[in-house]
Chain A
Amino acid sequence: MTYAIQTDRLTKRYGDTLALDALDLTVAEGEVYGYLGPNGAGKTTTIRLLLGLHRPTSGRAELFGVDAWEDPVRAHARVAYVAGEPFLWPSLTAEETFEFLARLHGATDVAYRDELVERFQLETRKKIRALSKGNRQKVQLLAALATRADLLLLDEPTGGLDPLMEATFRECIREAKARGQTVFLSSHILSEVEALCDRVGILRGGRLVDQGTLEELRHLSAQTVEVTFDGEAPQLPLLPGVQVVGAGPNALRFEVSGPVRPLLAALAERPIATLTSREPSLEEIFLHHYDSSDGRAGA
C-alpha cells in the first residue's frame, strides 16, 4: 500500500549537528499522527525534509509515494502546510493572502474557507502586519484547511491560539479525519495530541525513541499502582519489573512495567485497604523518555 508519508533512514546534518538520525516513519492514509518532541528535537527539520525544503544528508522521504526532494512539485500536489512561525506577507490583508495562496495551490474550497473564517472569527480585511501572532496563525491554518488537501502537515499549528480557538481547531481536525484526510501534527502540547491522534511518535535528539498507538505506548510503559494498608505498610521482597516510587506511613506507590501479577501475588496476604491502578498519561510516557539519565535528556 502507499503511505501518505514514508521515510527511509532519513538523516540530516547541519555542519557538526546531527539534527535527524535515520528516521523511519510511516503514516497511513486517513491517519492522524502526533509527532511529539521538545524544542530542538528535530520536528521542524523532519517537516522541512518531508517538504523537500531541505536536502536529506542521506535516506529519503516520500509523500504519497513521490520523492519529496526529487520531485517536490508533484509531491506537494496533495499536501497543505502550516509553518511553525506565521511569517506571511506583511502588506497583504488576510483575504489577499488567502487569494494568493489559493491561486498557487490550485484547489481551494472557498465556501468552506468562508465557513472557517466565521468559526475562527478572523478579521479578513486587516493587513498581516497588524494582526497578532494568534491571528496570523489562523490565516495560515485556514488557508491550509480550506484546500481540503489529502495530507495536512501542521508544525505546532496552535501556537498563539486561545483556548476557544484551540477547541475549534480540534473540531476541524476531527472533521478532516472523518473526511479521510491524513494529518501529521507536530506538537509539544500533549493534551492536544492525546485528544486527536491515532498514533504518536516521540522524537528525541533527532531520533524516534518510541512510536505506536496510545494503547501500545501505555503497554510498553509502566503503570502506576497505589496501595493503602490498614496499619503500617509492610516490607515487600524485590520483584522483577516492580519499583517502589513513593511511600507514606501506610501507603506505597509502585511503577510496574510488564505483567502486574507478581505484585498482586506478593500483596495477596497483606491487610490492603484500597488499591488503585491507572495507565500512564501521555505526559508520563513523554517525561519517562526524557528523564532517563543517559545524558541526552532534554536535548
Chain B
Amino acid sequence: MAVPAPSGAPRLAARAARRSRPGVALARRALGDARIRTIAFAYLFAAVAYINPVAYRHTYPTLAQRLAFAHSFGANKAVVLFYGKAYDLLTIDGYTAWRSGGTLAIFAAIFGLLAAVRVWRTEEDAGRAELVFAGIVSRRAAYLSSVAAIAAQMVVLWIAALAGLMIARLPIGASAYLALAIVCVVPVFAGVGALAGQLAPTRRVALELGGAVVAVAFVLRVVADTSRPVSWLRWVTPLGWAEELRPFTGARPLVLLAPLGLSVVLLAAAGAIARGRDVGRGVLPAHDTAAPRLGLLSSPAALALREARATLVVWLAGVGAFALIVGVISNSISSAGISKQLQRELAKLGSGSVATPLGYMSFAFIFFVLAVTLFVCSQIAAARGEEAGEQLETLLALPLGRRRWLAGRLALAGALAAAIALVAGLLMWAGAAFEGVRVSLARMLVAGANCLPVAVSFLGIAALAYAVVPRASVGIAYGLVAVAFLWNLFGELLGAPKWLVDATPFAHVGLIPAQPFRAVAALVMVGIGLSCAAAAIAMFERRDLMGA
C-alpha cells in the first residue's frame, strides 16, 4: 500500500541532502562504536588521576615523611620498574606526575593501539569497510574521519584525566599539562596500530604486531629508567617522552614535538598505504590455504586451546619476561636507611615490605595475581565470542551437552592460568637465583601457584555473569577485576574502614615468599570460584543462546 507523502517531505529531503556529509557520518559512527572502550578508559584515567594525589596527601602529610619516602622509595630501581622515573617526590604534584603519569601512559598506549586496529582492520575483516568504500566517500576522507574519531576519543581521555587531577585539588594549568603528557602517547600508538592494520591481513595479526611494539616501548623505558648508563634510551620510546615532558617538575613542552611528529609520520604512512591497497587485504600475505593439521580437534575445549595458542604464547612470554626482570632486580633492594615506620607505610602501597629481595618479589606478585586474573577474564571473553559468533549454535546442535562445553572451557581457562602462574614463579626464581638471591625453586613455584585462588574466584564470578547476562558479561568481568584491584591498592590509603577494604579478594593474598601462604583465605576464594562456576553451569543450561 502506498503511503501518502507527508507535507514536510520535500523539506526533509532537502535537509538530508544538505546534511549528507559522509566523512562526518563515518567519524560519528566510529565514535559511537568506540564509546564503551572510551568510557571505560576515561573512568580509569579519572580514577587513577584522582586517587594518587589524595592517597599521597593522606599517607605522607609532613615534609619529613616525604623526604624519607623520596629517599628510599623513589630511587629504588625496583619500584621505578613498575611506575617509571620519579623527578620529585617531595610534593603531591611530583608524586602524582610519577605514579599517575607512568601508569596511565601505558594504558594510553594500549588504548591508541586498540582504537586504531578497530577502525582500520576489524571493520575490514567484518566486511563493513567494503560497504563504506562502495559509497560516495573517498578512501582519503574515510581515513581522515577515522583519525578525527580517534582524536576525539583522545580529547575525552584528556578531559577525564584532567577532571580527576582537579577534583584532587591540583592546580589547573599543571594538571592540564600532565594530562596532556599522558594522552600524547595515544596518537603515537594509534599510528602504530594504523600501520599494523595496513600490514597485517587479519585483526589478530595486527594486534600482535602492535602489542609487540607496545611491549618493546615498555621494556625500553624500564631499561632506561633503571640503569643510568643507558638512560638516553628514554628518548627512543614514546613512553619515555611522556616522562621527559616532566609534568609538575620543570615542564619541557618542546618535547611534545616528538610524539606529534612521530604520530603524523606514522598516520601519514598508514594513510598512504591505505589508499593504494586492496580493501580487505593486508600488505603481508594472508595464509589462507594450508595443509590440514588435525591436532587439537577432539573437543570444543581442544579447539579453544588451538585457537588460543598464539595469545597464550604472548601471555607466557610477557609474564615470563617480567618475572625474570623482577627476579634479577630483586637483589638490588636494600633495607638500609628505611625506618620501620616507613616500611610499614610502604607495605600499604604494595601489600608487602619491599625492602628485601623476598619482600620485593612478594610485592611484585600482586601484579602477577592481577595478570593471571585478567587472563582468566580473557578466556571467558573467548567463550562468549564463540556464542556471539554463533559457532556455539553449530556445536550445541551436535550430540554435545552445554554442561560439557562450559565445564571444558572453564577447566581450560584454569589450566592455562596455572601454566602462566607457574611460569611466573619459575622465571622469577631463575632471575633471582642468577643474581644470588637465596630462595628455593619450590617456594617460588608456590608463590606462582598462589596467583590461582584469586584467579579461580574471578573465573567463577565471570562465568556466572556469562551464564546470566551474556552480552554484558565480558565488561562486568574486566570491570570487577579492575575495581577490586584498585580498591586493594588504594582503599586503605583513602581511609576506608578495614572491613570494606577486605571486601576485595586481592586483600587476602598471602604474598609469598615473604609472607606465609594464607590457606584459609585461599580455600575460601577457591570455594567461591567453584560454587559460582557450578551455579554458572546450571544457569547456562537454562537459558537461550544469544547471538551478538
Residue from A92, A127, A140, A153 within 8 A of B289 (CB atoms): A127
B399 close to A89 (CB less than 8 A): no
Q: Which of A101-109, A171-179, A238-246, A252-260 forms contacts with chain B?
A: A101-109
A146, B381: Cα distance in complex, Å: 32
A72, B307: Cα distance in complex, Å: 26
Question: Which B-chain residue is minimally distant from A49 (CB atoms)?
Answer: B544
- In the complex where A89-B307, A104-B300 touch, is A53 in contact with B397 (Cβ < 8 A)? yes
Q: Which chain B residues lie closer than 8 Å to A101 at the CB level? A: 394, 398
Extra contacts besides A72-B396, A77-B399 (19): CB < 8 Å: A48-B544, A51-B396, A54-B544, A73-B400, A73-B401, A76-B397, A76-B399, A83-B390, A87-B390, A88-B394, A92-B303, A93-B292, A96-B294, A96-B297, A99-B294, A105-B399, A106-B399, A123-B289, A129-B125
* A85 at interface, CB cutoff 8 A: yes
A88, B393: Cα distance in complex, Å: 10
- In the complex where A93-B292, A127-B290 touch, is A53 in contact with B544 (Cβ < 8 A)? yes
Most chain A beta-carbon neighbours within 10 Å: one of B287, B289, B394: B394
* A95 at interface, CB cutoff 8 A: yes
A198, B125: Cα distance in complex, Å: 42
B545 close to A105 (CB less than 8 A): no
Q: Which chain A residues lie closer than 8 Å to B300 at the CB level? A: 104
Q: Top 3 nearest A-B pairs by Cβ distance?
A: A130-B288, A81-B397, A54-B544
Residues on B close to A: CB < 8 A?
Answer: 125, 202, 286-294, 297-300, 303, 307, 389-391, 393-402, 542-545
A129, B293: Cα distance in complex, Å: 16
A100, B293: Cα distance in complex, Å: 11
B397 close to A51 (CB less than 8 A): yes
- By the criterion of a CB under 8 Å from any partner CB, how many residues of chain A are at the interface? 39
B292 close to A130 (CB less than 8 A): no
Jot down 17 A-B pairs with beta carbons below 8 A, ordered by A: A48-B545, A53-B544, A54-B544, A72-B402, A76-B398, A77-B399, A83-B394, A83-B397, A87-B391, A87-B394, A93-B289, A101-B398, A104-B300, A104-B395, A104-B398, A127-B289, A130-B286
CB distance from A100 to the nearest CB of B (A): 4
CB distance from A19 to the nearest CB of B (A): 11
* A296 at interface, CB cutoff 8 A: no
B545 close to A54 (CB less than 8 A): yes
B401 close to A96 (CB less than 8 A): no
CB distance from B544 to the nearest CB of A (A): 4
CB distance from B400 to the nearest CB of A (A): 6
Question: Which B-chain residue is minimally distant from A147 (CB atoms)?
Answer: B398
B297 close to A83 (CB less than 8 A): no
A130, B288: Cα distance in complex, Å: 6
- In the complex where A53-B545, A89-B303, A100-B303 touch, is A125 in contact with B289 (Cβ < 8 A)? yes
B292 close to A96 (CB less than 8 A): yes
A88, B543: Cα distance in complex, Å: 22
Q: Which chain A residues lie closer than 8 Å to B288 at the CB level? A: 126-127, 129-130
Q: Which chain B residues lie closer than 8 Å to A93 at the CB level? A: 289-290, 292
* A55 at interface, CB cutoff 8 A: yes
A92, B542: Cα distance in complex, Å: 30
A103, B400: Cα distance in complex, Å: 11
A83, B289: Cα distance in complex, Å: 24
A106, B286: Cα distance in complex, Å: 33
Question: Which B-chain residue is minimally distant from A77 (CB atoms)?
Answer: B399
Q: Which chain B residues lie closer than 8 Å to A87 at the CB level? A: 389-391, 393-394
Q: Which chain A residues lie closer than 8 Å to B291 at the CB level? A: 125
Q: Which chain B residues lie closer than 8 Å to A99 at the CB level? A: 292, 294, 297
Question: Which A-chain residue is minimally distant from B392 (CB atoms)?
Answer: A53
Q: Which chain B residues lie closer than 8 Å to A92 at the CB level? A: 303
Residue from B286, B398, B543 within 8 A of A55 (CB atoms): B543
Q: Which chain A residues lie closer than 8 Å to B287 at the CB level? A: 127
A126, B544: Cα distance in complex, Å: 33
A125 close to B292 (CB less than 8 A): yes
Question: Which B-chain residue is minimally distant from A55 (CB atoms)?
Answer: B544
Q: Which chain B residues lie closer than 8 Å to A81 at the CB level? A: 394, 397-398
B391 close to A105 (CB less than 8 A): no
A51, B293: Cα distance in complex, Å: 30
Q: Which chain B residues lie closer than 8 Å to A54 at the CB level? A: 544-545
CB distance from B132 to the nearest CB of A (A): 19
CB distance from B294 to the nearest CB of A (A): 5
- In the complex where A93-B290, A104-B300, A125-B289 touch, is A79 in contact with B397 (Cβ < 8 A)? yes
Residue from B390, B398, B544 within 8 A of A85 (CB atoms): B390
- In the complex where A54-B544, A89-B303, A100-B303 touch, is A125 in contact with B399 (Cβ < 8 A)? no
Q: Which chain A residues lie closer than 8 Å to B289 at the CB level? A: 93, 123, 125-127, 130
* A91 at interface, CB cutoff 8 A: yes
Q: Which chain A residues lie closer than 8 Å to B401 at the CB level? A: 72-73
CB distance from A77 to the nearest CB of B (A): 5
Q: Which chain A residues lie closer than 8 Å to B307 at the CB level? A: 89, 91
A140, B394: Cα distance in complex, Å: 9
Q: Which chain B residues lie closer than 8 Å to A140 at the CB level? A: 394
Q: Which chain A residues lie closer than 8 Å to B286 at the CB level? A: 130
Q: Which chain B residues lie closer than 8 Å to A123 at the CB level? A: 289
Question: Which A-chain residue is minimally distant from B291 (CB atoms)?
Answer: A125
Q: Which chain A residues lie closer than 8 Å to B390 at the CB level? A: 83, 85, 87
Question: Which A-chain residue is minimally distant from B401 (CB atoms)?
Answer: A73
Question: Which B-chain residue is minimally distant from A50 (CB atoms)?
Answer: B397
Q: Which chain A residues lie closer than 8 Å to B391 at the CB level? A: 87-89
Most chain B beta-carbon neighbours within 10 Å: one of A53, A74, A92, A104: A104
Most chain B beta-carbon neighbours within 10 Å: one of A74, A91, A125: A91
A129, B544: Cα distance in complex, Å: 27
Q: Which chain B residues lie closer than 8 Å to A85 at the CB level? A: 390
Question: Which A-chain residue is minimally distant from B396 (CB atoms)?
Answer: A53
Residue from B293, B299, B393, B544 within 8 A of A104 (CB atoms): B299
CB distance from A264 to the nearest CB of B (A): 36
Question: Which B-chain residue is minimally distant from A94 (CB atoms)?
Answer: B292
A89, B297: Cα distance in complex, Å: 12
CB distance from B407 to the nearest CB of A (A): 14
Q: Which chain B residues lie closer than 8 Å to A104 at the CB level? A: 299-300, 395, 398-400
CB distance from A258 to the nearest CB of B (A): 29
Q: Which chain A residues lie closer than 8 Å to B402 at the CB level? A: 72
Question: Which A-chain residue is minimally distant from B402 (CB atoms)?
Answer: A72
Question: Which A-chain residue is minimally distant from B290 (CB atoms)?
Answer: A93
CB distance from A47 to the nearest CB of B (A): 9
A212, B477: Cα distance in complex, Å: 51
Question: Which B-chain residue is minimally distant from A105 (CB atoms)?
Answer: B398
A125 close to B395 (CB less than 8 A): no
Question: Which B-chain residue is minimally distant from A101 (CB atoms)?
Answer: B398
A72, B401: Cα distance in complex, Å: 7
Chain A 33-50 per-residue mask, 1 if CB under 8 angstroms from chain B, else 0: 000000000000000100
Question: Which A-chain residue is minimally distant from B386 (CB atoms)?
Answer: A89
